Amino acid sequence: MTTYGRFYIDGSWVPPTSDHTLDVVDSITEQVMYSVPAGMATDVDAAVSAARGALPGWSASPVEIRADYLRKIADGIAKRTEAIAAAIARETGMSVTAARMIQVGLPIHNLGTAAAVGGSYAFESRRGTTVIRREPIGVVGCITPWNYPLHQAVAKIAYATVAGCTVVLKPSEVAPSAAFVLAEVADEVGLPAGVFNMVTGVGAVAGEALVGHPDVDMVSFTGSTAAGKQITRVAAGTVKRVTLELGGKSANILLDDLDDDAFAAAVSGGVQGSYLNSGQTCAAQTRLLVPRARLGLAEQVAAATVAQLKVGDPFDEDTQLGPLASASQRDRVQDYINSGIADGATLVAGGPGAPTGIDKGFYVRPTVFSDVQPGMSIAQEEIFGPVLSIMPHDGDDHAVEIANAVAYGLAGGVWATDTDRAAAVARRLQAGQVLVNGGSYDPEAPFGGYKQSGNGREFGPFGLEEFLEVKSILLPAG
């Protein structure tokens, strides 16, 4: 595999301009695995210059060629599935079993979807005497998080490049290995120099240099709401387009027409779903809203579900929850657990400290609180760990009120025997994507948030259009 000591710029692996490095820590052992360069503004400038130079040729190339490169990249990633899954399991703590399917399988699938969407998209249409063209916006700065490092990079890069844009990727320094593999594959398949460039570094240095760069036409960012606000401020200096996929505090609403078996299944599934990637998922439905009369049953089912979860080494094929990605993330989650106890929420499962028998790694105990009140910190703020809040509601209107009473609006869920009733509640939620009775997977469904969960959408035609400018050409009549 390519050395971690260089950046990928203009089709080549190039040395950094500084000797500063960043350690990448194994979430299981707490030991340093490798180091990556801490990119400076000069490195970002070189990457942006390469992307700017490649833009005219790439944007003028047939979309079929651009789409074909995405398919080749998908094939290259597929050949490296085991290595990528193992690296991400160590970086993020996700079980390697899940990592194969989610951290690698989904990006492969999404590359193919982006190729198909771009290949069938009408970049030019006519309305009477007006020609409406959709043209690539230009150079795109892609800044991606550590929780789904390859998935989020592909969500941006695949749609940007098939649209005709060139990109500079700044991955999270916590989990950067997938970015190096992506660069290696892009080089291997012969992607034209400068179309894809990659620089590692911290947000305050490399990230801000990319966001504020005058030759960057757009920034696509996934990460925390606090960081998204800072990116918006910096980007305003050059009035560039910014799309943001930020935090979430999603509600999973169970309505009162579910029978006991369906209710129990929804509670158990809700607990497990909220713990995906050890809760390190922006769209996790971390507030479980249940009818007040069934609060006790919800607590019993949740406690039993947690008791059956296997917490441990991500490389054990039976493990369902591994560690969190970093010491700081573990400490953050522990603080929220202590906050929930101090605020008077009922501790149903888990609690402070590491799971029994584990003395190494960034582990926390999968935790469930009940009778959580809307004003509590654990009900309002994104925790990003395996902590679920069960909240009682007094009917559909009350459930909607509670669900919408947060600063976020990324996702949600509604469960009911009457699907039409559930869908009616879903329409009232201030959230970008709502699953009704579990929903059906749609790789082209737009994904993004309301309110402080961000702006813009990823995936499918909506995701493609984020990277396009609209031009009207008015022809004379007759």
Q: In 10 A of CB 136, how many CB atoms?
A: 24
| Distance between CA atoms of residues 105 and 116, nearest Å | 17
| Distance between CA atoms of residues 305 and 271, nearest Å | 7
Q: Which of 91, 142, 282, 382 is catalytic?
A: 282
Which amino acid is residue 249, in one-letter code?
Answer: K
Question: Which candidate, 367, 395, 211, 198, places its Cα nearest to that of 299?
Answer: 367
In which residue are the tokens 């892009």 written?
186
Q: Which of 208, 245, 299, 382 is catalytic?
A: 245
Residues pairing with 196 in the sheet: 167
Is there a contact between 323 and 28 (Cβ–Cβ < 8 Å)?
A: yes
Give the residue ranges of DSSP H helices in 8-137. Answer: 41-60, 63-78, 81-92, 96-98, 106-120
Element (H, E) at 425: helix 419-428
Is there a contact between 323 and 27 (Cβ–Cβ < 8 Å)?
A: yes
SS3 21: strand
Cα torsion 64, 466, 225, 105 to 10°: value is: -20
Is there a contact between 225 and 451 (Cβ–Cβ < 8 Å)?
A: no
Q: What are phi and psi for residue 78, nearest 5 degrees?
A: -60, -35
Helices 260-274 and 295-308 cross at an angle (nearest 10°) of 50
Would you call 282 a catalytic residue per the annotation? yes
Token readout for 131 is: 């020609």
Q: What are phi and psi for residue 418, nearest 5 degrees?
A: -85, 105
- Provide the annotated active-site residues: 245, 282
